[in-house]
Structure 1
Amino acid sequence: MSKREQWGSRVGFIMAAVGSAIGLGNIWRFPYVAYENGGGAFLIPYIFALLTAGIPFMILEFGMGQKYRSSAPRLFARLNPKWEWIGWLQVMVAAVIATYYIAVIGWTLNYVTFAFDQSWGEDTKAFFFGEFLGLTGGPTELGGVRWPIFAACLLAWVLTWVACVSGVKKGIERANKILIPTLFFLVLIFIARVLTLDGALDGVNYLFTPDFSKILDYKVWAAAYGQIFYSLSVGFAIMVAYSSYLPADEDVNNNATMTVFINCGFSLLAGVMIFSVLGNMALETGSSIKDVAGAGVGLAFVTIPKAINSLPAPTFFGTLFFLCLTMAGVSSHISIVEACVSSLIDKFGWGRRSTVSYFCLGGFAVTVMFTTGAGLYILDIVDHFINSQALLVGAFIEIILLSWVLNLDDMRKHVNAVSDFSVDKVWKKCLKFVTVAVLGYSLLSNLHGDLTNGYGGYASKDLLFFGWSLLPLCIVIAFWIKNQESVERFVRVEEGAK
């Protein structure tokens, strides 16, 4: 087998890991989650979650990837051949996310061009859901392909293909060395300008004013841990794949800690950026900040464009904001695809170019479904069930096996041997008890909610077809791939013959 690639530098690896962790959710999800869960007081459980779950889990995945120099399926197979399917379940989750996540990147690419002349007009909601998405009556009423979205998604897939086919050092590392510093630079420019707007500081104060009454609410703590897992890309094959390209003596603990803190620091910057704009919007419209603040898609593609209309130099602000969204999305998408590609290469010994090409072609074929008039409905259902069920199941099984079945002391010795600072037994206890408890609670509460309340008001048949079927399908495919002949078997046969 060919020698495994390596990152060209420590900075290159950190930029790639940060690029994976920083995604669209940092910009539109964190500010709203913080605001809904106590504002400034939310930072207390958030930082606690970062220290007791985010950093320990990141150290574990960085250490496992570096020590075994394998993608997730191959790593689990080396620990126990019966566990290989768990890695493939995580890869399947990543593959599904890759197909719809890029649809949102396609929306942001279109909005970069719309920002030139504020094509979204005054009624940004009607424009987004009607003229732009051409939203149909439901998930099964596909309607026609929205060609601007189709073209943008094709371009985004091409960008990912170029980065991944060029390899770790020449493609992914170079791309992230450009994308991530540029993203931070653009966000800082945006913040520097919007903080001078009337009402901006009111928005920031509104976000971070602590509501200490919520500190004792267990739901706030669950939200904090959920945001940490949601934003760090742990538990679904990405960080294991990236760290498998680390040199054998690379500092694991420092790299993991830096990645987590940079990601969470960016989330705080995003909060300042978003709520500065919302504060100005509230002042201009005479509304309360609570009334203009929204979550998810509504914030990014309805509320912010409406705010941009009232800002000085709207072309500058609009272009800058949606360029930030696009860069955050592309850097994350590259990492998702690499997690899948590296796993296939490890399993079957295929060439990188052909593997990336076939995966991207297949992924784009599925993405076309999300470019139709029903795309937003399907994306909403798939995203909910993938994140609330499939991703959590894979992460929960992983942490149970690695922290309870295996001996974590061996991994602790490994990461300490190559790192400037050491982790003690508290790290082990955080993984065995805190992380397991939080992931288990999140999984059970999500399942209970979906079973009792459904999701989003969708018809049961739509939820069954686009949602509930995903986890069983991913598990079936995971077992099927596990049972295929791997390149390692043929290598052993050839070595035995010699």
Structure 2
Amino acid sequence: MGKREEWGSRAGFLLAAIGSAVGLGNIWRFPYVAYENGGGAFLIPYFFALLTAGIPILILEFGVGHKFKGSAPLAFRRIMKQAEWLGWWQVFISFIIMMYYVVIITWSANYIWFSVGLKWGKDTNRFLFSEYLNISDGVWSFGGIQWHIFFTLVAVWTIIFFILYRGVKSGIEKASKILMPLLFIIMLFFTIRGLLLPGAVKGLNVLLTPDFSKIFDADTWIAAYGQIFFSLSVAFAIMITYSSYLPEKAEINNSAFITGFANSGFEFLAAIGVFSVIGFMSQTTGTPIDKVVGQGVGLAFVVFPQIINQLPAMNSLIGVLFFTALFIAGLTSAVSILEVVIAAIMDKFALGRKQAVIYSSLLGFAGSIIYTSGGGLYYLDIVDHFINAFGIVLAGIVEVLLLGWFFKLRTIREHNNLLSDFPIGKWWEVTIRFITPLLLGIMTILNFYKEFTKLYGDYPLNSLLLFGWGIAISAIVLGLIFKAFPGYQKEEY
């Protein structure tokens, strides 16, 4: 396999790790989750979750990747030969996510252009669903390829391809050093502009006014752990892969804390900006804030264009900046997601980077095409729901149970402590063995309960079985198949 690639600097690694963690969900999911779960009071369970699950898992995955010097399948194989399938399960979860995630980045890229002159018009809802997505009549109506989306998708995949083709140091690291500071500057400008709008205080009051009754609601704590878990890119195999490129004498523990707090800091910055402009729209239109606020596609591509239409000045500029921020946040995450796949097949099949990048990019692009169809939003919604609820969370539970109960965690702790700015104590092992699996287990039970009491999104059952359960289960099956393939002939450890 040759000498493993390495980061050129600690800053490069940190910016890449933070870039992976900071994604679309930081901008369009966190503000809504905080608002729905107690506002300012949500910060208590959120920080508790960060310190008892988010950062401990980052420490774990950084340590595993660095000590065992491999992609997730190879690292788990070196820990316990039969555990290789878990790494492949996480690889296929990442690959499935990549195929639809890159399409949302494509929408963001197109909306940068639409922002110039506010091309979406006054009815932003109709523009998104009818004119841009040309959404079909239902999940079983394919609706044909939307070529204006397809050709932008080609451009986005080309950018991702060239970043990864250039390698870890010359590609991912260089891109991260440019894109992450740019993303922060854009979001800072956006937030400051939002704070200066009339009605901004109204929005911030709604976001931050604490509802301490929510503290005693189990759903609030589940939401906090869910937000931390999904936003930090844990159980995707990303952080294991990225840390495997660290030099022999690399800092671990403090890097995990920096990554975790930087991700959370960006989420708070985005929330302040988002609710400032939501407060402005509420005051300007007389619409109650609870009728304006939302999350996901609706917030980003319907509500924000509406808000931008209402701005007193710099409408196009704010639109360009907002959607550029979405594009960059998505791009840095997408690069990290596909790198998981590239590293895994390089390790397993002794391929060179160029071959691995070409194969994974072509296959990923082919899988993305279905999401450019008129029915693409339906497929995206279903796959995203099931791969998050029954892919990432379950893989996370298996990971912490495997490493917490069937592997000496002390080995990772001692390895990390020898290299780190400060040592971690046995509290870390307690969180990995008990607290994290308990909370993730409760999340999973609730997810199953909700799934079997009501059909998700009122979609037909057969569509949920195919695009939902079928895709989620396929990641496990493919993980077992790839474990069975012969490989690692030149493994040296």
Query: What's the CA shift for 1:193?
Result: 1.4
Task: Check conservation: 1:115, 1:319, Cα contact below 8 A.
Answer: yes
Residue 277 (structure 2) pairs with residue 277 (structure 1): yes
- The CA distance in 1 between the partners of 2:151 and 2:491, in whole Å, is 42
Aligned length: 492
Root mean square deviation of aligned Cα: 1.1
Aligned position for 2:83 = 83
Query: What's the CA shift for 1:439?
Result: 1.1
Aligned position for 1:236 = 236
Aligned position for 2:480 = 479
- The CA distance in 2 between the partners of 1:340 and 1:285, in whole Å, is 47
- The CA distance in 2 between the partners of 1:6 and 1:460, in whole Å, is 47
- The CA distance in 1 between the partners of 2:288 and 2:474, in whole Å, is 45
**Structure 2: any 5+ residue segments left out of the alignment?**
none
- The CA distance in 2 between the partners of 1:342 and 1:451, in whole Å, is 37
- The CA distance in 2 between the partners of 1:15 and 1:437, in whole Å, is 31
Matches for 1:154-233 after TM superposition, within 5 Å: 154-233=154-233
Residue 429 (structure 2) pairs with residue 425 (structure 1): no
- The CA distance in 1 between the partners of 2:208 and 2:406, in whole Å, is 41
Task: Check conservation: 1:113, 1:319, Cα contact below 8 A.
Answer: yes
Aligned position for 1:370 = 371
Query: What's the CA shift for 1:489?
Result: 2.7
Q: Give the stretch that moved more between structures: 401-410 or 224-233.
A: 401-410
Query: What's the CA shift for 1:3?
Result: 0.4
Aligned position for 1:292 = 292
Query: What's the CA shift for 1:477?
Result: 1.1
Task: Check conservation: 1:52, 1:435, Cα contact below 8 A.
Answer: yes
Aligned position for 2:34 = 34
3-state SS, counterpart of residue 443 of structure 1? helix
Aligned position for 2:393 = 392
Aligned position for 2:453 = 452
- The CA distance in 2 between the partners of 1:237 and 1:305, in whole Å, is 35
Aligned position for 1:110 = 110
Aligned position for 1:434 = 435
- The CA distance in 2 between the partners of 1:49 and 1:55, in whole Å, is 9
3-state SS, counterpart of residue 489 of structure 1? coil
Aligned position for 1:496 = none
Residue 490 (structure 2) pairs with residue 468 (structure 1): no
Aligned position for 1:315 = 316
Aligned position for 1:142 = 142
3-state SS, counterpart of residue 422 of structure 2? coil
Query: What's the CA shift for 1:490?
Result: 5.3
**Structure 1: any 5+ residue segments left out of the alignment?**
493-498
1:292-342: CA deviation from partner (whole Å, max 9, x where unpaired): 111211100000100000112110110000000000000000000001100
Task: Check conservation: 1:235, 1:394, Cα contact below 8 A.
Answer: yes
1:103-153: CA deviation from partner (whole Å, max 9, x where unpaired): 100110110000001111111111101101000011221112111211121
3-state SS, counterpart of residue 469 of structure 1? helix
Q: Give the stretch that moved more between structures: 242-251 or 467-476.
A: 467-476
Aligned position for 1:334 = 335
1:330-374: CA deviation from partner (whole Å, max 9, x where unpaired): 000000000110010000011111111111111111111000000
Aligned position for 1:414 = 415
3-state SS, counterpart of residue 144 of structure 1? coil
Aligned position for 1:6 = 6
Task: Check conservation: 1:390, 1:470, Cα contact below 8 A.
Answer: no
3-state SS, counterpart of residue 102 of structure 2? helix
- The CA distance in 2 between the partners of 1:217 and 1:194, in whole Å, is 32
Task: Check conservation: 1:235, 1:398, Cα contact below 8 A.
Answer: yes
Paired amino acid for 1:175: A
Task: Check conservation: 1:5, 1:245, Cα contact below 8 A.
Answer: yes
Task: Check conservation: 1:73, 1:88, Cα contact below 8 A.
Answer: yes
Q: Give the stretch that moved more between structures: 305-314 or 444-453.
A: 444-453
Aligned position for 2:57 = 57
Residue 361 (structure 2) pairs with residue 356 (structure 1): no
- The CA distance in 1 between the partners of 2:272 and 2:147, in whole Å, is 35
Aligned position for 2:264 = 264
Paired amino acid for 1:96: I
- The CA distance in 2 between the partners of 1:446 and 1:367, in whole Å, is 27
Aligned position for 2:133 = 133
Aligned position for 1:495 = none
Task: Check conservation: 2:350, 2:490, Cα contact below 8 A.
Answer: no
Paired amino acid for 1:314: N
Question: How high is the sequence identity, in percent, across the aligned residues?
Answer: 49
Residue 23 (structure 2) pairs with residue 23 (structure 1): yes
TM-score by length of 1: 0.98
1:201–1:491: structure 2 CA closer, same or farther, 3 Å change rule?
Answer: closer
